[in-house]
């Protein structure tokens, strides 16, 4: 888990997990760049349309709620390290 938090690309992940992490990163940093090819990559590793939709919904929700919290200056939960 520690390696995933530091740099998931160096962690031992399944092909599906790596593809999901790649999707999460792209959807988070460059959402307008996500395209049909990205969805197809998720299908190629074995995800069906429902799983792809569910994953995308979860990723988008976390992005949304984090932006709301940041925008309102919500304090971190106790024990969480400050953002770098």
Q: Report mean pLDDT in 10-residue bins for the chain, 84 residues.
A: 86 96 97 97 98 98 93 81 66
What's residue 23's pLDDT? 98
Q: Kindly state whether residue 49 falls inside one of the protein's structural domains.
A: yes
Q: Kindly state whether residue 9 falls inside one of the protein's structural domains.
A: yes
CB proximity list for 33: less than 8 A, separation 6 or greater: 26
> How many distinct structural domains can be found in the chain?
1
d(CA 21, CA 25): 6
What's residue 79's pLDDT? 73
Q: Which ranges constitute the DSSP H helices of the chain?
A: 2-7, 15-29, 36-44, 49-72
For residue 14, CA distances in Å to 5, 22, 50 come to 16, 12, 19
What's residue 84's pLDDT? 62
pTM, to two decimals: 0.82
Q: Tell me the residue range of the domain where 22 lies.
A: 2-72
CB proximity list for 46: less than 8 A, separation 6 or greater: 15, 16
């Amino acid at each position: 888990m520690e390696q995933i938090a530091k740099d998931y690309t160096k962690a031992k992940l399944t092909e599906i997990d790596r593809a999901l992490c790649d999707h999460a990163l792209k959807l988070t940093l460059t959402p307008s760049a996500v395209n049909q090819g990205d969805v197809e990559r998720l299908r190629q590793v074995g995800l069906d349309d429902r799983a792809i939709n569910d994953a995308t919904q979860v990723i988008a929700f976390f992005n949304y709620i984090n932006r709301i919290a940041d925008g309102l200056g919500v304090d971190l939960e106790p024990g969480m390290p400050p953002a770098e």
